[in-house]
Amino acid sequence: MSAALNLICGPLGSGKTTLIRHLLTQKPKAEHWLVVVNEFGAVGIDGAILQSQGQTRVAQIPGGCICCTAKGEVEATLKRLLDEQQPDRILLEPTGLGEPDNLVDLIRFADFKDRIDIQAVVTVLDSAHTDIADIERMTIYQSLLNMADVVVLNKTDLAEPARIDALQDLCQACFPPKEVVIETTQGRLPLEAIRRAHFTSPAFSFVQSETPSLTPGLVKSHLHAPTAVEFPPVQTLPGLVAREGKHQGDTVAIGWVFEPDVAFDWQALRSLFEHLATKAHVKRAKGVFGVGASSRMLFQLVHGEVSRELIAYRKDSRLELLLTHVDAAFATQLEQSLQAAITAS
């Protein structure tokens, strides 16, 4: 049986350790949990704080970032703990400098395939001191947001309402969308928030189902009530998880989600998006695609302009289009282009 693993990420001082302490108070009695803490300092303070929580075993990896200089140590530590402890769940706290995309790659491609089930990646932000300008300027912030399934806006009691609203708007605009965005204080995160899969999530931003009930007053979500749209039978697409179409107002949305191991030719994708830019009925197109063993590339078509960039995202590959009307022939041709863009494994 594999152990569930959650990454608890966030900048220095965001409240990661406090959040983990709160999660430990919710641990089911029948489950065996471990905490692995990586601290940038020479001595481990957070580990000592967590060790005082009770019977939960805490392993410390001080003195280096587990995403780069301490990669070998974290791999060895996880293997040893799995062999010795057979945990049900591992909470892994990288340093505030750690990039979660590199850590997810390490766990995915090391010898953990049948031993670790990567569940929700949690990013904790200090809503009182996090500036939108810093997120837009610093790649570490962008990596933290792009990789997160759950975003925790912590310390809201100390933040100006306008700052909280700006952070909420930023989270709601993320693509792919976040599963849960929580406003809280003292790192209070409900246990059910971390019990969700990281790979593969077929949810689309235009099919936002109601967020499961967590702690009252903590979740702010934007809900929609679109109607289903009939499209032609889906083409045979390797690794396809789901295709969904929805209609709301004057917009038709269609999206595809692929397994995380499906690889695409980025040049073929660029040609596809450039072709979409010539279609008057395409309002917008966004896609994040695996273009190698671990790399992901974000393609966007907005106002007739195509852009692409590398993105710290690992869950799956997906494409989302917003159209002015249903076009069955167009959907069929698009799927043929997607199939041609998928590289041989």
* Interval 146-193: pLDDT, tens: 999 999 999 999 999 999 999 999 998 888 888 899 999 999 999 999
Computed over every residue of the chain, the mean pLDDT equals 85
* Interval 279-303: pLDDT, tens: 999 999 999 999 987 789 999 998 8
* Interval 70-90: pLDDT, tens: 678 888 889 999 999 999 999
* Interval 17-69: pLDDT, tens: 899 999 999 999 999 999 998 865 444 445 555 655 566 888 887 655 555 55
Share above pLDDT 90 across residues of the chain, in percent, rounded to a whole number: 55
Residues of the chain with CATH 3.30.1220.10: 227-341
The mean pLDDT of 107-117, rounded to a whole number, is 88
Domain 3-204, architecture per CATH: 3-Layer(aba) Sandwich (3.40)
Long-range Cβ contacts of 291-300 (<8 Å, 24+ apart): 291/263, 291/264, 291/265, 291/266, 292/263, 293/109, 293/263, 294/101, 294/105, 294/108, 294/109, 297/266, 297/269, 298/175, 299/269, 299/270, 299/273
Q: Given a cut of 50, is residue 221 above it in pLDDT?
A: no
Q: Which helix (H) or strand (E) holds 140?
A: helix 139-147
* Interval 298-317: pLDDT, tens: 999 988 999 999 999 988 99
Residue range 227-341 forms a domain whose CATH class is alpha beta
- Split at pLDDT 50, 70, 90, the class of 123 is very high
Residues of the chain with CATH 3.40.50.300: 3-204
pTM of the model: 0.80
Identify the pLDDT of residue 67.
59
